[in-house]
Structure formats: C-alpha cells, structure tokens
C-alpha cells in the first residue's frame, strides 16, 4: 500500500490501520522531516517517501521512488490542503496551490506509478458545491475564494476517479468522502466521527467483499453515494485529463 499525506490525520490513521492488520505500507510526507514523522507514528510501516506534492518535479521523483519499490496493490491519494487559504498561493510551477496538491498531484502519480490493483481518491462532501467546468482552473481571473477552490478540487477528484475507472477497466478506482471529521484540516469542531474517517479507504484498499470490488463509485462510511453528473460524464473526464496532460506533459495511458 502507498498512502500520500500519511504524516498525520486520516492518512496516518489509515496507515496505522493497514499496517496493524499486517499489510506492507509505504508512507509519504512532503519533505524528509515529515516523512520521518510519519515513520515514527507508524513504526510498522515498510518505508516513508518524501516529496512536495505542490511541485511537478518532486511529484515525478516521488513516483520514480515509489516504482522502485515494486508494484503496489493499492494507492490511497489522501494528501490535500483545505479550504482556509486566505489568498491564492502560487506554486513554483505557476499553479494554484490548492489545484496542484489536490488534483494535479493525484493525476500525475496515477499516470506515473505502475498501475496498482486499486486506486482510492479522497473527496469531500463539499464537492457538491464544486464547479467542474475547468474554467480558470488556476484562479488567475477570479477573485480568490478558498472554500470554492477546495470544493472545485474535490469535485475534480471525483471526475478523476471516474476517468480512471473508465480508462483502466483492470483497476478498481473509487473515491471516498471521509466526512467532516476533527482533524487538523477539519478543525476541532467538526461533527463527524473521526474513528470512521479512515475506515472506508482502508476497506476499499484490501477488502474482498463484493461491495468493495467495484469501480467508478463514491463512498461514505462504506456506503455508495450518488456520483455527481460531471464525475460520470466522459466529456468532463476527458477534459480534465487533457488539462492535466497540458500542464505536466504526461498523459494517462
């Protein structure tokens, strides 16, 4: 298993759950210090890889290091930044920080890491308010709205999951909304059950239950949720894949 953003929060919880069940888990942190933190928190993990998901170059290097470990059974794209950024932050590649980490990094890792048996993308209930039109993806022309940028990114993660499920029928690709849980991102007042926040993604990664052996679906607490129309629209899926290809020069084959 490879889990991005597993130095804390739900990624760390999923890693602890899977490693505790005897699975070989590879962790991830944005730099060497965070990777070391992840390793200390999950001592049963096999390894921890470093890479800043805001950087296209570092995501490429991360994928190369991940591939050197061999083919993964499952990759959980957990890492994300939230909706509280008070202004548009631009990455070294000239991209919106929220889009780069939440959407482009999962796309690029999906395209570059040897195909696993299963892919899990973390989305959010806020995706219901997202815009999948691909208009001004980098927020250069619009006044910055952090909550909307986050909602858009989480809807696009659903679109990405749907696109991968359609393009790669030999891979189980699904999305999980963990709920509004009291993590560092969710905040201490979040009302949902933290104990269930990592359960569904871990279940989808390893379970042989018939309910888990599906693709192109969205889950909340192990129950399927209705997919937004955009996530099931081949035109929207292909549009996102093409936008990401143009930004990275890497196509999803």
In angstroms, rounded to a whole number, what is the distance separating the alpha carbons of residues 96 and 202?
29
In angstroms, rounded to a whole number, what is the distance separating the alpha carbons of residues 189 and 5?
22
Q: Does residue 193 carry a pLDDT above 70?
A: no
pLDDT tens digits for range 90-110: 999 999 999 999 999 999 999
In angstroms, rounded to a whole number, what is the distance separating the alpha carbons of residues 253 and 251?
6
Q: Does residue 180 carry a pLDDT above 70?
A: no
Q: How confident is the model at residue 243 (pLDDT cuts 50, 70, 90)?
A: very high
CA trace torsion 233, 238, 241, 244 (10° rounding)? -100
Q: What is the CATH number of the domain that holds 26?
A: 3.40.50.720
Place of tokens 């619009």: 142
pLDDT tens digits for range 52-84: 999 999 999 999 999 999 999 999 999 999 888
Full residue range of the structural domain in which residue 206 is found: 2-248
What percent of the chain has pLDDT above 90?
91
What per-residue confidence (pLDDT) applies to 146?
96
In angstroms, rounded to a whole number, what is the distance separating the alpha carbons of residues 226 and 215?
13
Catalytic residues: 150, 154
Q: How confident is the model at residue 195 (pLDDT cuts 50, 70, 90)?
A: confident
Number of domains the chain contains: 1
pTM, 2 dp: 0.96
Q: For residue 253, tell me if it sits in a domain.
A: no
Q: Residue 21, Cβ neighbours under 10 Å: how many?
A: 11
Per-residue DSSP letter, 215 = -
In angstroms, rounded to a whole number, what is the distance separating the alpha carbons of residues 192 and 170?
34
Q: For residue 95, tell me if it sits in a domain.
A: yes
């Amino acid at each position: 298993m490879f889990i991005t953003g597993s130095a804390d929060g739900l990624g760390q919880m999923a890693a602890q759950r899977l490693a505790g069940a005897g699975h070989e888990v590879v962790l991830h942190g944005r730099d060497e210090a965070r990777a070391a933190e992840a390793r200390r928190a999950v001592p049963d993990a096999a390894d921890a890889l470093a890479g800043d998901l805001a950087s296209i170059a570092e995501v490429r290097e991360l994928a190369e290091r991940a591939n050197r470990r061999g083919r993964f059974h499952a990759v959980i794209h957990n890492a994300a930044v939230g909706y509280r950024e008070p202004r548009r932050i631009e990455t070294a590649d000239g991209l919106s920080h929220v889009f780069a980490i939440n959407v482009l990094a999962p796309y690029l890792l999906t395209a570059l890491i040897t195909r696993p048996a299963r892919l899990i993308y973390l989305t959010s209930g806020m995706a219901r308010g997202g815009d999948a039109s691909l208009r001004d993806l980098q927020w250069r022309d619009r006044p910055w709205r952090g909550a909307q940028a986050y909602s858009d990114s989480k809807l696009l993660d659903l679109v990405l999951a749907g696109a991968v499920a359609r393009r790669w029928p030999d891979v189980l690709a699904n999305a999980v909304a963990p709920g509004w849980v009291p993590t560092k991102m969710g905040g201490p007042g979040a009302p949902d059950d933290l104990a269930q926040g990592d359960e569904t993604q871990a279940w989808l990664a390893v379970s042989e239950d018939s309910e888990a052996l599906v693709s192109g679906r969205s889950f909340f607490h192990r129950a399927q949720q209705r997919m937004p129309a955009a996530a099931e629209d081949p035109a929207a899926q292909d549009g996102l894949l093409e936008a990401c290809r143009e930004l990275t020069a890497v196509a999803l084959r």
